[in-house]
C-alpha cells in the first residue's frame, strides 16, 4: 500500500514561485485563494461544504437520535414520533443501566463494560506481544522451518472465525474455556496482520544497531527489549488503537462463548436486551446502553486520532 | 527494502520459544478447527452423534441442490454488491469534496470517522431503532411521504435496512483511504490540467479517478470481504436473517444451520465453500498489492 503519508506528503509538496510569493501577502488577502487550491471557484466551494454537511448529518443522525432516546422515559420513546430534543432522564437512565441493566435477564451494564474492557485489553496486548515476539524470531534468526512458520501465520488470514464457527467452538468447549476471559480472548489472539506489520518495520531497523549490540555483548533478548521494542513504540500505539476497537466490538465469538450473563460483553448484552420484541424492550435504556457501548472505542479514536489513521493504513499494507 | 537481515543472532532454541505462542494458538484454534471442518464436510452424522458415515461430496451436492442455499448465495451477492457499490460511491464523493476544502478538512474528517468505532451489531441496533415501523423516526417520516415500510415483515425493506447499516458503518474507513489516495496525487498534474482549461469535473474524470484506481480496487476487495464476513453482527442483531430468510447471507447461514439447526455436515460443507471464497479474495488482494509495488 502506498496511499499513506498523505497529509505530510502534501505539506512537503513544493509549490510554484507564485504561491511562495503569495505567502508574503497579508493574511487578509491570502484567504481569497486558499493555499493549495488550484483555482478559486466560490460556487464549487459552497457546494463542497453543503455536500460534506449533508454527509455528516447522515452519519450523525443515528448517533444523535440514540443520544436523545437515551435521555427520555420509555413512554416518551414509544410515543411515535419521539421528540428530537433531549429529555430530562439522562442521569436516571444511565444510572439504571449501569447498576441494573435493562430487561429481566440482564446483568448490570457496568459489569458488561468491565467484561468488554478486559476482553479488548487482553486481545490488544496479547496480539501485540505475540506478534512482536514472532516477528523478532522471523527477522533476526535463521532456523529450520522458519519458512513454514511464516507460511502458517500467513494462512490464518484466510481462516476468519466466521468460516469455522462450529469446530472452533468445540475446541474451546473441550478445553473448558466457555464463559471465561481466556475463552473470549485467546482464540482471537493469533495475528498475521500484526506479525507482518512488525516484520516490515524490523526490516527497516539499521543493521548497525544489531551489530553494535552484538559487539557490546548484548544477547538477543537484551537487544529486543532495549532497542527493538522502544523503536517500535509508534507502531505499537497505532496497532493498539485498531486492536482495542477490534476487541471491544467483537460479536460472533462472545455470542458463542458466553452463556452466563455475568460474562456478557456490552455488545452482546444489547442484543439480548432487544430480543424480547418491541413491547418488552425499554428502548430508552437500550439506547443508553448503546451510547455506553460506543463511548470507549470512540474515545480511543478521538484521543488517538493520529495513531488511529496510521494504524488503519499500516495494517492494510 | 531488503527482505532479509544481514546481521542475525545465533541460538538453537530461542527463535522457537519466541514463535511458539503464536504457532500454538494458530494450530489449536485455526488449523485444527479448519481441518475438522474439512473432514466433517465429508461426513454425515445422525442427530445424536451416535454414528457417522463417510459420504464423499454428498453434503456439497445436497447444498447445491438446496433452494435455500442458492437463495442465500443470491442474497449475499446482492447484499455485497450494494454495500460495496453504495459505500464506495458515497465515500468517494465525500472524500473528493473534503479534499477540495482544505479549510475545515480536519474538522470534517474528525466528524466522519466516528462510525468506524461503532460495533457492527450496535450500528444495526441504531438503524433498527430508526427504521422500527412503530416507533422509528425514519419510518415515521417515510410514512409521511406515503411509503409503506416494514422491515420486520417485508424482505426488501429488511435488506435495504441492513445495507444502510452496513454502508454507514464502513463509510469512515473508505473515506479515510480515498482521502489519503486523493492527497497523494501530485498537485502539479491537477494544476497543469487546470491551466489547459479542464474544469473540475473533467479533471476528476480524466486525471483524479484513473490515478485513484489502485485505492479504489483495494477498497473494493476490502468492502466485499467486509460484506461477506464482518456483517454477521449487523444481520444477527437486526433481522436474524429474516423475514423469511430475506437477509440470510452465507455467513449467517453457516451459523444458523450449524448452531441452531445442528446440521453438522451441511454447515461444515458451507464453511469449506466460504473458506474457498476467502482464499480467492485474499489471493486477488495480494496479487494486486504486488502489482502496485511495481507501479
Average pLDDT, whole number, for chain A? Answer: 81
> Confidence band (pLDDT; 50, 70, 90) for A37?
low
Scanning every residue of chain B, which has its alpha carbon at the shortest distance from the alpha carbon of A140?
Answer: B8
In contact, B122 and A267? CB cutoff 8 Å: yes
Who has greater pLDDT, B129 or B109? B129
Average pLDDT over residues B29-47: 81
Contact between B5 and A160 using a beta-carbon 8 Å cutoff = no
Q: What is the pLDDT of residue B23?
A: 92
* Cα separations in angstroms, A306 against A225, B118, B180: 25, 18, 13
Is B132 a residue whose pLDDT tops 60? yes
Interface of B with A in 110-149 (CB under 8 A): 110-123, 125-130, 132, 134-137, 140-141
CB contact under 8 A, A63 and B114: yes
- What's the CA gap between B60 and A262, in Å, rounded? 40
Query: CB-based contact (8 Å) between A168 and chain B?
Result: yes
Distance between CA A188 and CA A186 in Å, rounded? 5
Q: What is the pLDDT of residue B289?
A: 58
Measured between CA atoms, how close is A101 to chain B, in angstroms?
16
Contact (CB<8Å) B271/A166: yes
Arithmetic mean of pLDDT, A109-126: 93
| Top-confidence residue, B205 or B101 | B205
Contact between A98 and A110 under an 8 Å Cβ cutoff? The reply is: yes
ipTM rounded to 2 decimals:
0.86
Q: What is the pLDDT of residues A191-210, one digit of tens each?
A: 888 898 899 899 989 988 98
Q: Of B105 and A271, which is predicted with more confidence? A: A271
Is the pLDDT reported for residue A2 higher than 60? Answer: no
Among positive and negative, which fits the CA dihedral B66, B72, B78, B81? negative
DSSP B290: H
Check if B91 contacts A (Cβ < 8 Å).
Answer: no
A107 Cα to chain B: minimum distance (Å): 18
Gap from B221 CA to chain A (nearest CA, Å) = 12
**Residue of A39, A45, A55 for testing the chain B interface, max B β-carbons within 10 Å:** A55
Q: What is the pLDDT of residue A105?
A: 58
CB contact under 8 A, A249 and B11: no
| pLDDT at residue B169, rounded to an integer | 93
Between these two residues, A13 and A136, which has the higher pLDDT value?
A136
Q: Is A214 in Cβ contact with B37 (below 8 Å)?
A: no
With cut-offs at 50, 70 and 90, classify the pLDDT of residue B291.
Answer: low
**A129-145 pLDDT, tens per residue?**
999 999 999 999 888 88
Q: Is the pLDDT of residue B276 over 70?
A: yes
Which letter does DSSP use for residue A227 in this model? I
Task: Decide: A120 and A247 in contact? Cβ < 8 Å.
Answer: yes
Q: In Å, how far are A312, B222, B274, B287 from B281, measured between CA atoms?
A: 19, 9, 11, 10
B228: phi then psi, degrees, rounded to nearest 5? -70, -45
Question: Which residue in B30, B43, B165, B293 has the most chain A C-beta atoms within 10 A of its own C-beta, making it the best mutation to test that interface?
Answer: B30
Q: Which of B285 and A25 is assigned the larger pLDDT?
A: B285
pLDDT mean over A96-120: 84
Q: What is the pTM of this model?
A: 0.85
Quote the minimal CA–CA distance from B47 to chain A in Å: 15
Chain A contact for B177, CB < 8 A? yes
In the stretch 42-71 of chain B, residues with CB closer than 8 A to chain A read none
B294–chain A Cβ distance below 8 A for any pair: no
**Is residue B288 predicted with pLDDT exceeding 70?**
no
**Averaged pLDDT, B74-90:** 94
Render pLDDT for A262-278 as a digit per residue (tens, 0 to 9): 889 999 988 888 877 66
* Alpha helices, DSSP H, located in chain B: 14-26, 32-40, 58-64, 67-100, 105-112, 120-131, 137-144, 155-183, 187-195, 200-203, 209-211, 213-225, 232-238, 250-255, 264-294
pLDDT at A23 over 60: no
pLDDT at B120 over 80: yes
How does pLDDT run across A289-310, given as a tens digit for each residue? Answer: 999 999 999 998 888 887 887 7
The reported pLDDT for the residue numbered A31 is 40
Query: Contact B232/B252 with Cβ under 8 angstroms?
Result: yes
Please judge whether A61 and B176 are an interchain contact, meaning their C-beta atoms are less than 8 angstroms apart.
no
Is A171 within 8 Å of B184 when comparing Cβ atoms?
no
Cis peptide before B243 (omega within 30 of 0): yes
Q: Over chain B, what is the mean pLDDT?
A: 85
- Backbone angles phi and psi of B44, in degrees to 5: -120, 130
Does the pLDDT value for residue A32 go beyond 60? no
More reliable by pLDDT, B55 or A186: A186
| Number of CB pairs, chain A paired with chain B, less than 8 A apart | 342
For residue B131, give the nearest of B98, B107, B164, B175 by alpha carbon: B164
DSSP state of B134: T
Q: B138-162: per-residue pLDDT in tens?
A: 988 888 888 888 888 888 899 999 9
Interface of A with B in 55-74 (CB under 8 A): 55-56, 58-63, 65-66, 69
**Res B167: pLDDT:** 96
Is pLDDT of B277 > 90?
no
- Among the partner residues B29, B181, B236, nearest to A3 by beta-carbon distance: B181
- Is the sign of the CA dihedral A282, A285, A288, A293 positive or negative? negative
Facing residue for B33 by CB, picked from A171, A203, A278: A171
% pLDDT > 70, chain B:
93
Distance CA B125, CA B114 (A): 16
A residues 14-53 lying closer than 8 A (beta carbon) to B: 15-16, 34-39, 41, 44-45, 47-49, 51-52
- Asked if the C-beta of A276 comes within 8 angstroms of chain B's C-beta atoms, the answer is no
Q: How far apart are CA B112 and CA A60, in angstroms?
A: 8
What is the Rg, in whole angstroms, of the alpha carbon atoms belonging to chain A? 25
Residue A187 has pLDDT above 80, yes or no: yes
Interface test with B, best of A163, A209, A258, A305 (most B CBs within 10 A): A163
Beta-carbon contacts of A62 under 8 Å, excluding residues fewer than 6 positions away, are B123, B126, B127, B129, B130, B168
Question: Please, which pLDDT band fits residue A6 given cuts at 50, 70 and 90?
Answer: very low
Residue B285 at interface with chain A, using a CB cutoff of 8 Å: no
Positive/negative CA dihedral, A299, A302, A304, A305: positive
| Chain B residues close to A38, C-beta within 8 Å | 187, 190-191, 194
Amino acid at each position: 500500500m502506498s496511499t499513506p503519508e498523505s497529509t505530510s506528503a502534501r505539506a512537503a509538496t513544493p509549490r510554484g514561485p507564485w504561491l511562495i510569493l503569495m505567502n508574503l501577502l497579508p493574511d487578509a488577502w491570502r484567504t481569497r485563494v486558499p493555499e493549495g487550491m488550484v483555482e478559486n471557484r466560490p460556487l464549487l466551494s459552497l457546494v463542497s461544504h453543503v455536500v460534506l454537511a449533508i454527509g455528516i448529518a447522515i452519519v450523525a443522525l443515528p448517533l444523535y437520535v440514540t443520544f436523545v432516546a437515551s435521555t427520555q422515559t420509555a413512554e416518551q420513546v414509544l410515543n411515535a414520533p419521539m421528540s428530537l430534543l433531549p429529555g430530562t432522564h439522562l442521569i436516571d437512565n444511565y444510572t439504571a443501566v449501569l447498576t441494573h441493566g435493562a430487561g429481566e435477564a440482564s446483568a448490570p451494564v457496568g459489569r458488561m463494560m468491565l467484561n468488554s474492557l478486559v476482553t479488548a485489553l487482553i486481545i490488544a496486548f496479547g496480539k501485540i506481544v505475540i506478534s512482536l515476539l514472532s516477528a523478532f524470531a522471523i527477522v533476526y534468526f535463521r532456523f529450520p522451518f522458519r519458512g513454514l512458520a511464516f507460511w502458517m501465520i500467513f494462512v490464518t488470514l484466510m481462516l476468519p472465525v466466521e468460516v469455522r464457527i462450529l469446530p472452533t467452538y468445540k475446541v474451546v468447549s473441550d478445553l473448558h474455556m466457555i464463559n471465561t476471559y481466556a475463552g473470549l480472548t485467546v482464540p482471537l489472539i493469533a495475528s498475521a496482520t500484526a506479525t507482518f506489520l512488525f516484520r516490515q518495520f524490523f526490516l527497516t531497523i539499521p543493521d548497525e544497531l544489531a551489530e553494535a549490540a552484538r559487539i557490546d555483548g548484548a544477547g538477543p533478548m537484551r537487544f529486543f527489549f532495549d532497542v527493538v521494542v522502544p523503536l517500535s513504540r509508534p507502531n505499537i500505539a497505532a496497532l493498539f488503537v485498531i486492536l482495542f476497537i477490534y476487541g471491544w466490538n467483537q460479536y460472533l465469538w462472545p455470542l458463542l462463548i458466553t452463556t452466563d450473563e455475568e460474562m456478557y460483553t456490552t455488545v452482546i448484552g444489547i442484543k439480548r436486551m432487544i430480543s424480547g420484541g418491541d413491547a418488552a424492550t425499554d428502548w430508552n435504556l437500550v439506547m443508553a446502553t448503546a451510547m455506553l457501548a460506543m463511548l470507549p472505542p470512540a474515545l480511543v479514536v478521538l484521543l488517538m486520532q493520529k495513531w488511529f489513521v496510521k494504524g488503519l493504513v499500516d495494517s492494510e499494507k | 527494502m531488503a527482505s532479509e537481515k544481514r546481521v542475525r543472532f545465533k541460538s538453537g532454541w530461542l527463535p522457537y520459544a519466541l514463535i511458539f505462542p503464536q504457532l500454538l494458538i494458530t494450530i489449536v484454534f485455526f488449523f485444527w478447527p479448519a481441518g475438522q471442518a474439512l473432514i466433517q464436510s465429508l461426513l454425515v452424522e445422525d442427530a445424536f452423534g451416535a454414528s457417522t458415515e463417510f459420504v464423499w461430496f454428498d453434503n456439497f451436492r445436497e447444498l447445491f441442490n438446496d433452494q435455500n442455499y442458492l437463495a442465500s448465495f443470491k442474497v449475499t451477492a446482492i447484499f455485497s454488491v450494494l454495500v460495496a457499490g453504495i459505500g464506495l460511491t458515497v465515500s468517494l464523493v465525500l472524500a473528493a469534496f473534503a479534499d477540495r476544502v482544505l479549510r475545515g478538512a480536519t474538522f470534517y474528517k474528525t466528524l466522519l470517522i466516528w462510525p468506524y468505532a461503532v460495533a457492527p451489531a450496535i450500528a444495526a441496533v441504531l438503524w433498527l431503532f430508526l427504521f422500527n415501523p412503530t416507533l422509528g423516526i425514519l419510518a415515521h417520516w417515510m410514512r409521511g411521504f406515503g411509503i409503506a415500510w416494514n422491515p420486520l415483515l417485508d424482505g426488501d425493506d429488511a435488506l435495504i435496512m441492513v445495507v444502510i447499516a452496513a454502508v454507514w458503518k464502513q463509510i469512515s474507513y473508505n473515506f479515510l483511504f480515498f482521502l489519503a489516495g486523493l492527497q497523494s496525487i501530485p498537485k502539479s498534474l491537477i494544476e497543469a490540467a487546470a491551466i489547459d482549461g479542464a474544469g473540475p469535473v473533467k479533471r476528476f474524470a480524466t486525471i483524479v479517478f484513473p490515478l485513484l484506481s489502485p485505492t479504489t480496487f483495494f477498497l473494493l476487495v476490502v468492502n466485499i470481504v467486509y460484506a461477506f464476513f464482518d456483517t454477521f453482527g449487523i444481520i444477527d442483531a437486526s433481522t436474524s436473517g429474516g423475514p423469511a430468510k430475506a437477509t440470510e447471507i452465507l455467513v449467517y447461514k453457516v451459523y444458523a444451520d450449524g448452531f441452531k439447526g445442528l446440521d453438522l455436515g451441511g454447515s461444515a460443507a458451507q464453511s469449506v465453500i466460504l473458506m474457498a471464497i476467502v482464499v480467492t479474495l485474499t489471493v486477488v488482494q495480494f496479487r494486486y498489492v504486488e502489482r502496485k509495488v511495481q507501479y
